[in-house]
Amino acid sequence: MAAILGKPESRTRKYEGQYFYNYPLCGLEVDFGVQGGVVTYIFCFRDGVRGNRQANVTTEGGIAPGDTKERVLAVMGEPDERGEPVSLHSGIRFGEWFRYDAGINFQFGDDGRVDMVTITAASGR
């Protein structure tokens, strides 16, 4: 990944089994699972989310960070799984989310717009 995006602006290990290369100027985080591992998740952010700039990405269907929940549903259909917003005791808030078995997930801000697009392996269901 570093060969494509260059040297990360920072590297972090947030939780057990997560090792991130952070590219906030590109609006991206890449999770390798462990140092020296393979890419597990690619997170693409909307401008201002977690201190990131807008990721210059779109899905195959043309969805980009900042698009509306209604647009996601119109393009992708009903998600295979969805979750409600959650606020943790630490103050961290996770917005409503949609997961699709094809390996794409969307997290929404309180305004109903995509804050984060997450790419992972398809579930094979």
Q: Are residues 49 and 14 in the same domain?
A: yes
Range of the domain at 26: 1-57
- For the chain, how are helix, strand and coil distributed in percent, rounded to 5? 10, 30, 55
pLDDT tens profile 65-107: 999 999 999 999 999 999 998 888 877 778 899 999 999 999 9
Instruction: Give per-residue burial for 28-49: e unless 16+ CB within 10 Å, then b.
Output: bbbbbeeeeeeebbbbbbbeeb
Task: Note the residue count of the chain.
Answer: 125
Q: Are residues 49 and 71 in the same domain?
A: no
Q: Are residues 34 and 72 in the same domain?
A: no
pTM above threshold 0.95: no
- As for how many domains the chain has, the answer is 2
pLDDT at 4 over 80: no
